[in-house]
Amino acid sequence: MEIKIALVGCGNVGTAFIELLAEKRNELKNKFGFFFSLVMVSDKIKGTICNKNGFDIDELVLALHEEHNLSHFEQAKGNFQEVLLASGANFLAECTPTDFETGEPGMSHIKFALDNGISVSTTNKGPIALAIDDLKQIADGHGAKIFCEGTVLSGTPLLDLLKNGLAGCEILEVQGILNGTTNFILSQMEQGQTYEAALKKAQLLGFAEANPRQDVEAFDPAGKVLVLAKLIYGINVDFNSIKRIGITHVTKEMIEIAAKNNHRIKLIAGIHRDINGLHLYVMPRELENTHPLASVNGATNAITLTTDNLGDITLIGPGAGRRETGQALLHDLIEFARTK
Ligand code: HSE
C-alpha cells in the first residue's frame, strides 16, 4: 500500500514530521507494511512545492536544514486547493498555527481535504476545538478520516489512551498540566529566572505558540480541555464559558512563598463533574509538593484521569516540542495505514 502525503505548515512541527518520515521509512515499510511518498509541502512563508511522484525526502530534509526554506525546489502553480488536488495526496498533515476564534487557516485546509476524500491528521487545536463534530461528519460523508492525537499532550498518546486503553472506563474527573510553555516558565521562575527571560527561552525552544498570549493567558490549555470534554463526554462547550486564568499575574514572590510552604504553583486545567454538570477550567493552583502533578517540570505535561474501574491513571510526557509533536502526526499516519 502507498500513502501519498501532503503537508501544510512547514514550521518546527512540519519539518520535524518530514525528518521523522526520513528516519523511520524502513520501519514504516517493514513493521507497519506501507510505503509513503511526500507529494506536496505548503507553507505560508516558504511557498508551495508539489511532485506527484514524491520528493526525494533526504534532499528535502537537507534543503530545510541548510536553507530553512524551499527555494531549492520549483514552486507549484495554483492555490493550496488546486495544488492539493493535483498532488494526488490521500493524507494531509496539517500543522498551521492555532486560532481559537476562527480556526483558520487550518479549518479551511481540513474541510477542503475531507470534502475531497483526503484524510487528515492535524496538530492544530483551533479547528478541533471549534468543529470536531462537523469535521467528523464531513469525513464520514466522503470516506475520509480525521485524526488529532497531537492536539493534546503533543505526541504523548493521551487520545489513544482514552479511545483504546480506557475503553469501558467512565472518566469521573480530569486534572492536568496541559500547557508546556507555562509549566516551563513557572519551573524557570522557581530557579530564579524572570518571567520575560523564561518566555523568551520557551519561544526559542519551539514550545510557545506563534502568539504566546495563547499560552500565558491560557487560551491554549482551555482549548485542550474543550477537546477533551468533547472526546470524553461528547459534549460541546462554548469556549468563552471555560473559567480561564493564565499565569501573567503569578509573581516571583508568590512562587517563593509557595515554596516556603512546601507548595508549587502549577497551571491546572481540568473538568470537574457535579450535580450541576461539567465545569471546565484552567487556573494557577498551589499544590502540595506531594501531589502527583507538583513534580512535573519544564515543558512536560501530565494528566490524572479519575476513572470508575481503575481509580486514578496519571500519564506524564512531553506536551510540546517539534519532534514530540511530529511523533503525533507519525502516530496518526500509522493509524491511518492500519485502518485503511
Ligand atoms: N504552546 C503549546 C504548549 C504547544 O506550550 O503546550 C503544544 O500544544
Ligand 1: does its nearest atom lie under 6 Å from the Cβ of 5? no
Measuring from atom 8 of ligand 1, which residue has the nearest CA? 320
Ligand 1 pocket member 209 (CB < 6 A): yes
Mutation to probe ligand 1, out of 98, 203, 215 (largest number of atoms < 8 A from CB):
215
Three-state DSSP class for 209? coil
The whole model's pTM is what? Answer: 0.94
Q: What are the strands, taking DSSP E only, across 129-262?
A: 146-147, 171-177, 243-244
Q: Ligand 1 in contact with 319 (CB < 6 A)?
A: yes
- Ligand 1 nearest atom to the CA of residue 123, by list position: 8
Hey, whose CA ends up nearest to atom 4 of ligand 1?
Answer: 320
- Please, are residues 148 and 154 in contact by the beta-carbon 8 Å criterion? no
Residue 3, C-alpha cell as written in the block: 500513502
CA atoms within 13 A on the CB side of 18: 28
178 Cα nearest atom in ligand 1:
6
* Residues in CB range of 141: below 8 A, 6 or more apart: none
β-partners of residue 227 are none
Burial classification of residue 277, based on how many CB atoms lie within 10 Å of its CB (0-12 exposed, 13-18 middle, 19 or more buried): exposed
Side chain identity at residue 227, one-letter code: V
Residue 327 C-alpha cell reads as 511523533
CA 158 and chain centroid, separation: 11
Question: Which of 13, 100, 154 most suits a substitution to test ligand 1, by most atoms within 8 Å of the C-beta?
Answer: 154
Q: How far is the CA of 276 from the centre of ligand 1 (A)?
A: 31
Alpha carbon dihedral 42, 43, 44, 49, in 10-degree steps, equals -40
Phi-psi region of 122 (alpha: psi -120 to 50; beta: other; left: phi over 0): beta
- How distant, in Å, are the alpha carbons of 182, 187, 190, 266 from that of 193? 13, 9, 7, 16
Q: Tell me the catalytic residues.
A: 224
**Parallel, antiparallel, or unpaired for β 146-147 and 119-122?**
parallel
pLDDT tens across the length of the chain (340 residues): 789 999 999 999 999 999 999 999 999 999 999 999 999 999 999 999 999 999 999 999 999 999 888 999 999 999 999 999 999 999 999 999 999 999 999 999 999 999 999 999 999 999 999 999 999 999 999 999 999 999 999 999 999 999 999 999 999 999 999 999 999 999 999 999 999 999 999 999 988 998 999 999 999 999 999 999 999 999 989 999 999 999 999 999 999 999 999 999 999 999 999 999 999 999 999 999 999 999 999 999 999 999 999 999 999 999 998 999 999 999 999 999 999 8
Kindly give the number of the ligand 1 atom that is closest to the alpha carbon of 320. 7
SS3 95: coil
253: CA distance to ligand 1 center in Å?
26
Amino acid type, 246:
G
**Sequential DSSP letters for 156-178:** S-HHHIIIIITTTPPEEEEEEE-
CB 35 within 8 A of CB 51: no
Residues 267 and 209: their CA atoms lie apart, in Å, by: 16
Spatial neighbors of 309 by CB under 8 A, at least 6 apart, are: 168, 169, 170
